Amino acid sequence: MPTRRSFIRGLILAPAALLISPRGAAAIGGTLPELDAAAPGFRLPGVVPSAAGEPREAILALDDFRGRWLVLYFYPRDFTSGCTLEARGFQRDLAEFTRRDAAVMGVSADDGDSHASFCGSEGLAYPLLSDLDGVVSRAYGSWIAPFSQRHTFLIDPQGVLRHRWTAVRPSGHSQEVLAVLERSRAETDHTASSAA
Among 39, 44, 83, 144, the one annotated catalytic: 83
Q: What is residue 184's three-state secondary structure? A: helix
CA atoms within 13 A on the CB side of 134: 15
Element holding 187 (H helix, E strand): helix 173-195
38: which DSSP letter? Answer: B
**What is the bridge-based pairing of β-strands 151-155 and 147-148?**
unpaired
Instruction: Verify whether residue 119 is a known catalytic residue.
Output: no
Q: What is the largest CA-CA distance in the chain?
A: 55
Q: Using N-to-C axis directions, what is the helix angle for 112-122 and 81-92, rounded to 10°? A: 60
The catalytic residue positions are 83
